[in-house]
Amino acid sequence: MENGNITFTMIKPCAVKQEKEFDILLDIKNAGFKIIALKKTKLSKEQAQKFYEIHKDRPFYKELCDFMSSGPIYAACLKKENAVNDFRKLIGNTNPELAEKNTIRKKYALSIQENAVHGSDSNENASIETKFFFSNLEIFE
């Protein structure tokens, strides 16, 4: 799963609370991504801390983990050529104020933290993050 054709995304609690998950999934589909795994779930505080462990020394870590475990999310694995980079372009800058027009974060994010979606930052992390949520039996390429 590290061949550059997959990425991992979460639709975050802020977007699910606003019932934007299907609009976002349609944007993802219309951008040419195939959804090869998808589930609605809710992270425990401990799971959020583990998922975002790489940020544990950042000042926003505690708030981020509280937010990410505050309500249901959708986790998905997406397939497309050049998936990681193309998906990062589709979602836009982490900070919605800096995100380009028509990007998912520009359209749906509320703030730098409540930024609607997560996207993997490398092929290696796409694989690690996918395996965090899905077994091989739940992925249909």
Report in angstroms how near the CB of residue 22 gets to ligand CMP at its nearest: 20
Q: Which residues of 51-75 are buried (b: 16+ CB within 10 A; e: fewer)?
A: bbeeeeeeeebeebbebbbbeebbb
Contact at 8 Å (CB) between 61 and 20? no
- Of 18, 60, 82, 140, the one binding ligand CMP (CB under 6 A) is 60
Neighbours of 125 (CB within 10 A): 17
98 binds ligand CMP (CB under 6 A): no
Q: Give the range of 20-28, 73-81, 111-119, 126-134 binding ligand CMP by CB under 6 A.
A: 111-119
36-to-61, 84, 88, 117 alpha-carbon distances in Å = 30, 15, 18, 17
94 binds ligand CMP (CB under 6 A): yes
- Of 15, 24, 37, 64, the one binding ligand CMP (CB under 6 A) is 64
Does 118 qualify as catalytic in the annotation? yes
Set 16, 118, 120, 129: catalytic member? 118
Neighbours of 112 (CB within 10 A): 14
Report in angstroms how near the CB of residue 63 gets to ligand CMP at its nearest: 7
22 binds ligand CMP (CB under 6 A): no
HSE at residue 84, side-chain half, CA atoms within 13 A, is 14
Report the catalytic residues: 118
* Binding site residues, ligand CMP, CB under 6 A: 55, 60, 64, 94, 112-113, 115, 118
